[in-house]
Amino acid sequence: MDGAEVTGSILTRTLSPANDVMLQGYYNATNLTLIDSDLTATNIRSGVTVFGVGGALYARLPKSGQTSSYRTGDDGDLEVGVPPPISRFTVGVGGAATNVVTDNLTGLMWCRDANLAGLKTWNDAVDYCNALNHGGYDDWRLPNVVELSSLLDFQQNSPVLPAGHPFLNVQSSTYWTSTSYSSDPTFSALVVSVGVGTSSANAKTATRYVWPVRGRP
């Protein structure tokens, strides 16, 4: 203080369910899990440590959507994966917000109009999404192949989207993703067919549909 070294100690305070207030100037002398029952490894992402608790929560894959079974042990028989929320999609409320849809499974927000941009080349699709101001948001981007595929429901056909979805002008055709094709990344990118639920590589000079997304899953 004023150029002179100051020494001292910090007061400790033992926390418990009955004594959970941390006053200014104190530090916690106990494990915070004593007062926060949710502070457990299974509630923290693997590789992340919060207040000394290492995470052990791994990403879980959603169900494919297929419920019809054609033999024992197939997808429709086992239905492996995380089930979607009862209310899968939420349309924004009021004004421009009605032009966007939030996927309650992934947390991603999508343009409600699935043909807002029309047909574009890959580079034009990336530029279009980056410059888009829509639904009250200006941080749109072209989805990667995993994000776009997350919308698919393989019980459905043409389009392969969950029954009762709120999207408009969905094209049963191929949509660009931001993912370049690893065998030819300079000239090709991956597309997802919303009509049949497949992904493939297309030349970046081809014209395909564009479905902007925002947020991080």
Specify the 3-state DSSP secondary structure of 180: strand
Whether the predicted pLDDT of 11 surpasses 80: no
Which pLDDT belongs to residue 76? 95
Lowest mean pLDDT among 58-67, 106-115, 175-184: 58-67
The token pair that represents 33 in the structure block: 């899990």
CATH no. of 86-214:
3.10.100
Q: CA nearest 195: which of 153, 157, 143, 144?
A: 157
Higher pLDDT pick, 191 / 52: 191
The token pair that represents 147 in the structure block: 């994000």
The token pair that represents 187 in the structure block: 């000239």
Cis amide linkage into residue 159, ω under 30° from 0: yes
Whether the predicted pLDDT of 30 surpasses 80: no
Whether the predicted pLDDT of 24 surpasses 70: no
Read off the pLDDT band of 56 (50, 70, 90): confident
> If you average pLDDT over every residue of the chain, what do you get?
89
Read off the pLDDT band of 60 (50, 70, 90): confident
Specify the 3-state DSSP secondary structure of 212: coil
The token pair that represents 98 in the structure block: 């009605």
Whether the predicted pLDDT of 139 surpasses 90: yes
For the chain, the structural domain boundaries read: 11-54, 86-214
Whether the predicted pLDDT of 210 surpasses 60: yes
Read off the pLDDT band of 54 (50, 70, 90): confident
In angstroms, what is the C-alpha Rg of the chain?
24
